Amino acid sequence: MADLRLVVAGIVHDHLLGILPNFRKLPVKIVGGADPNRPLREKLRKEYGVTALYPDYHDLFRSVKADAVMVCGTNADGAGIVEAAAARGLDCMVEKPMAATADQAKRMLKAAKRHGTRLMINWPTAWNPALVKAMELVKRGDIGQCFHARIHMAHQGPKEAGCTPYFWGWLYDAKANGGGAIIDYCCYGAAIMSALWGRPNEVMGVAKTLVKKRFPVDDNAMITAIYDRRIILSQASWTQNPDYHDTLFLGDRGTLQTEHGQLVRTHTDPKEFSHWGAERQNRKVIHIPPMPKGLRNGPEHFVHCLKTGKAFTKLCSAEVGCLAQEILTAGVESNKSRRRVRL
């Protein structure tokens, strides 16, 4: 089978630096790229031998014959790129989150459906074995009714983490990003809750600049999603030291928690009671097998599904990405109005 011809639309999302090497391991040829920034285009030329480079993605799509697009522009750029790509029959993989606003995400989903193209949202959490296993166990009822979950994503901030100015420059722009930490890091929780439980009834959001002085966007945020039988918290920080990227699922028959790549289950036996972390926790580190081929990273999964016609994993589906964006936008609106937002 011929190599997949891939073009890159947008280079300002630093996650691209970790994505392209994985494409190189696949039957994929990177045949073109577009970004307004000349130094980034030159980086693509120098490191990947791409010669068909343009400042504007419209020129890229008109000039280069391709099969698919890796979308790594600003969050706000994604809708226009996907609409233009879908109109030319190109499948798209969009780096998380799907967009800057819910309206933009809906435009992307509508364009893909109208033109019959594939649209995948690449969530790095989708390739995390501990989290994938936790979601599987929650879904099948291993801890009973999951009445609460906390998805806590945090580090000291994009600039402090070593992101390039091309990346943090737009992350700190509320229009290009959609917000600050509330979009960049609450998005993971929004996607996980959407994949597991669908649309919540109501959303509450709080976003504040707590630590970084004269900072243009929020550096800490929380979004609470309210369902009929559960309350889910997505927590984000750009000021936490050290970083933290883990999840907690509380059920009436036990608790699941990811801990730095491990998955731990705790519970008390019938008629027992644990208080202040007493001995009766029955702590068990769950064995987690490696992710199978086709599910080890975004590029591998994207190409596998395009070649086989299989559906993208639910977490990376455009429908889940769009719902996650609705939750994020509701969180932003709730923060502004100081009221719950009903979906």
Q: What are phi and psi of 86, to 5 degrees?
A: -60, -35
- Residue 48's alpha-carbon distances to 43, 51, 167, in angstroms, are 8, 9, 20
Coil, strand or helix: which one is 308? helix
What pLDDT score was predicted for residue 320? 98
What pLDDT score was predicted for residue 277? 63
98 and 105 Cβ atoms separated by less than 8 Å: yes
What pLDDT score was predicted for residue 279? 67
- 317: DSSP letter: B
197: left (phi over 0), alpha (psi -120 to 50) or beta: alpha
Establish whether the linkage from the previous residue to 97 is cis, with ω within 30° of 0.
yes
What pLDDT score was predicted for residue 54? 98
Q: What is the pTM of this model?
A: 0.97
Residue type, 265: R
Residue appearing with tokens 């280069």: 64
- 199: DSSP letter: -
Closest of 48, 66, 49 to residue 57, by C-alpha: 66
How far from each other are the two terminal CA atoms of the chain, in whole angstroms?
45
pLDDT tens, per residue, the chain with 343 residues: 589 999 999 999 999 999 999 999 999 999 999 999 999 999 999 999 999 999 999 999 999 999 999 999 999 999 999 999 999 999 999 999 999 999 999 999 999 999 999 999 999 999 999 999 999 999 999 999 999 999 999 999 999 999 999 999 999 999 999 999 999 999 999 999 999 999 999 999 999 999 999 999 999 999 999 999 999 999 999 999 999 999 999 999 999 999 999 999 999 887 777 776 666 788 999 999 999 999 999 999 999 999 999 999 999 999 999 999 999 999 999 999 999 999 9
Tokens of 237: 């920080």
Count other C-beta atoms under 10 Å from residue 292's C-beta.
7
160 and 212 Cβ atoms separated by less than 8 Å: no
Tokens of 268: 């008390």
Count other C-beta atoms under 10 Å from residue 62's C-beta.
11
User: What sign does the dihedral 170-174-180-183 (CA atoms) show?
Assistant: negative
What pLDDT score was predicted for residue 281? 83
Closest of 12, 189, 16 to residue 95, by C-alpha: 16
d(CA 209, CA 190): 21
d(CA 44, CA 334): 40
